[in-house]
Amino acid sequence: MVLAKSPIEDAYDNARRYLDEEKIRSALQEASDFGASYAEVRLVSITDSSVATRDGQLERAIPGQEVGATMRVLANGAWGVHSTTDIESIPSQVESTVRLAKAVAERRSSKDKPVSLADVPIIEDSVHWIPEKDVRVTELEEKLDLLNVLYENSKDDKKIASVICGWHDEHIHTEFMSSEGMNRVWSFQRSLINATVTARDGSDVVSYRTRHGGEGGLELIEQCDLATLGSDAKTSAIRLLKAERSPSGKLPLVADRDLTGVYIHEALGHPCEADLVAAGDSCLDGKLGQKIGNDIVTVIDDPTIRGGYGAHPIDDEGLDTKEKCLIKNGVLTDYLNHRESAHHFGIEPNAGARAQDGLHHPLVRMSNTLIKGGTHNDLDELIEDIEYGVYACGSRGGQVDTGRGSFQFAAQEAWLIENGSITTPLKDVSVSGLTLQILKDVDGLTTDSRLAAPGFCGKGQTVPVGDGGPIMRIKEALVG
């Protein structure tokens, strides 16, 4: 047995270990014996629960208990990976996984740099971020009560056609052991509540989505003013029914903190991921130390911001997470990296490795990404000298072509700015631009920077992220 315990045994005991340490140590040693220069096993057990209601009625509630593990070996400068839900199969796959890595290595030409890993401290410990109210012991009825508050406050208008509310919570438990002697266990929780409000007037139909959540337990949802969250979503949905089509063209843009977060995530965060830079797929290749943005732009990525949806104590290579400053006063100061890319660029590892779950290998990923605050006091100050522009709020998501450095993101709702005032509501506003241009065009930021609504980021694997910042003004952006 490689599993020392079944994931359901002692389910709420944070000190428990699923992996049999001796068996895994032996497997890691075996990998070394077969010629691996490095090997690791990472097990992730996720206890989660999803709930959905439609118009106040329970639609579905799904509790789950999943466990998966990934063994990664580095041999002759190339990676071999084995991922499985059959944890007990890991020792039997060591030799074939090393062989896989060697087969990849054989295809490298002499000019290809073999994969090496940056040195990191070797740590043996356990880190548990304990929530105030553990989601694993939260009754379904409690979740339904909270969802009902959101529903009741978002449905109350004859133009509201439907309200779909959702809940997701998860307890993530990770065990990490490596051939270098790393032996760490960590756990934390995430909680999320959301609503999609659909409004209809004749043949016009629109929807508005709202979310609240982050790293933590039930307390995160209880602390949220769900009544206002629901009521605001209702108001926005109804307003969208009367909203006009967005003007198209290059216009001054003011973005609320939700959109500011998505903007910095797409436009800068992704091109800053060192695995993409190393692959030749980033417009920021070779730009470390160069001025790429306006002086007022300072950007951090910080997984240690407790409560942020992208918060986590340890990255998926076993490194303590920390704040990374990506841009300081317009100068590109760092890439987000993992051990491989840190070594590739000869920079300090900054614990940017994340995997979707136990069945995926770690990639360089963002966590909580923010633009720091500026000097403008409020929205009014930012828009007072804009003759004609757009104020865009809330995110419907975004995408980036990191190589070309072009990006797009969409707002949930927007308004025209005319002669320093917010006027006509707009719908289906999207913004696009070029990273290396638009960072220079950020010319105003309010003082108060903080994380906005939680989000998800896809890069072949999906991970929760927090994005945010202050309210931001861009001199000129392509609005459509």
Residues 349-368 that bind other proteins (CB under 8 A): 359, 361
Residue whose structure tokens are 């997984």: 303
Least distance from other proteins to the Cβ atom of residue 225, Å = 26
429 belongs to the binding site for other proteins (CB under 8 A) = yes
Q: With contacts defined by CB under 8 A, name the span among 91-99, 303-311, 324-332, 373-381 that binds other proteins.
A: 91-99
Helices 140-154 & 226-242, crossing angle to 10 degrees?
A: 40
8 belongs to the binding site for other proteins (CB under 8 A) = yes
68 belongs to the binding site for other proteins (CB under 8 A) = yes
420 belongs to the binding site for other proteins (CB under 8 A) = no
Q: Specify the residue, 399 or 423, whose C-beta has the smaller distance to other proteins.
A: 399
Least distance from other proteins to the Cβ atom of residue 306, Å = 28
Least distance from other proteins to the Cβ atom of residue 59, Å = 9
Kindly tell me which residue out of 43, 83, 211, 386 binds other proteins, with binding defined by CB under 8 A. 83
Rounded to whole angstroms, the Cα distance separating 232 from 348 reads 44
271 belongs to the binding site for other proteins (CB under 8 A) = no
Kindly tell me which residue out of 82, 143, 171, 190 binds other proteins, with binding defined by CB under 8 A. 82
Kindly tell me which residue out of 127, 161, 288, 436 binds other proteins, with binding defined by CB under 8 A. 161
Q: With contacts defined by CB under 8 A, name the span among 20-28, 32-40, 223-231, 390-398 that binds other proteins.
A: 390-398
Least distance from other proteins to the Cβ atom of residue 259, Å = 12
96 belongs to the binding site for other proteins (CB under 8 A) = yes
Site for other proteins in 297-336 (CB under 8 A): none
Reported as type and span, the H/E element at residue 13 is none
62 belongs to the binding site for other proteins (CB under 8 A) = yes
Report which of 170, 261, 240 is spatially closest to residue 428, judged by C-alpha positions: 240
- Per residue, the 3-state secondary structure of the chain, as one string, reads CCECCCCCCCCCCCCCCCECHHHHHHHHHHHHHCCEEEEEEEEEEEEEEEEEEECCEEEEEEEEEEEEEEEEEEECCEEEEEEECCHHHHHHHHHHHHHHHHHHHHCCCCCCCCCCCCCCCCCEEEEECCCCCCHHHCCHHHHHHHHHHHHHHHCCCCCEEEEEEEEEEEEEEEEEEECCCCEEEEEEEEEEEEEEEEEEECCEEEEEEEEEEEECCHHHHHCCCHHHHHHHHHHHHHHHHHCEECCCEEEEEEECHHHHHHHHHHHHHHHHEHHHHHCCCCCCCCCCCCECCCCCCCEEECCCCCCCCCCCCECCCCCECCCEEEEECCEECCCECCHHHHHHHCCCCCCCEECCCCCCCCEECCCEEEECCCCECCHHHHHCCCCEEEEEEEEEEEEEECCCCEEEEEEEEEEEEECCEEEEEEECCEEEEEHHHHCCCEEEEECCCEEEEEEEEECCCEEEEEEEECCEEEEEEEEC
Kindly tell me which residue out of 27, 39, 80, 149 binds other proteins, with binding defined by CB under 8 A. 80
Kindly tell me which residue out of 24, 67, 147, 284 binds other proteins, with binding defined by CB under 8 A. 67
Site for other proteins in 103-142 (CB under 8 A): 103-104, 107-109, 112, 140-141
Kindly tell me which residue out of 63, 121, 181, 286 binds other proteins, with binding defined by CB under 8 A. 63
* 3-state SS class at 87: helix
Kindly tell me which residue out of 14, 23, 37, 61 binds other proteins, with binding defined by CB under 8 A. 61
86 belongs to the binding site for other proteins (CB under 8 A) = yes
198 belongs to the binding site for other proteins (CB under 8 A) = yes
C-alpha radius of gyration, the chain, whole number: 24
What percent of the residues of the chain are helix, what percent strand, and what percent coil, each to the nearest 5?
Answer: 25, 40, 35
**# binding residues, other proteins (CB under 8 A):** 81
248 belongs to the binding site for other proteins (CB under 8 A) = yes
Q: With contacts defined by CB under 8 A, name the span among 19-27, 73-81, 291-299, 314-322 that binds other proteins.
A: 73-81
6 belongs to the binding site for other proteins (CB under 8 A) = yes
Site for other proteins in 392-411 (CB under 8 A): 396-401, 403-404, 406-410
417 belongs to the binding site for other proteins (CB under 8 A) = no
Kindly tell me which residue out of 39, 206, 274, 342 binds other proteins, with binding defined by CB under 8 A. 206
Instruction: Take residue 371 and report the two structure tokens written for it.
Output: 């633009």
Q: Specify the residue, 87 or 254, whose C-beta has the smaller distance to other proteins.
A: 87
290 belongs to the binding site for other proteins (CB under 8 A) = no
Least distance from other proteins to the Cβ atom of residue 284, Å = 12
Kindly tell me which residue out of 30, 232, 281, 381 binds other proteins, with binding defined by CB under 8 A. 281
101 belongs to the binding site for other proteins (CB under 8 A) = yes
Least distance from other proteins to the Cβ atom of residue 70, Å = 8
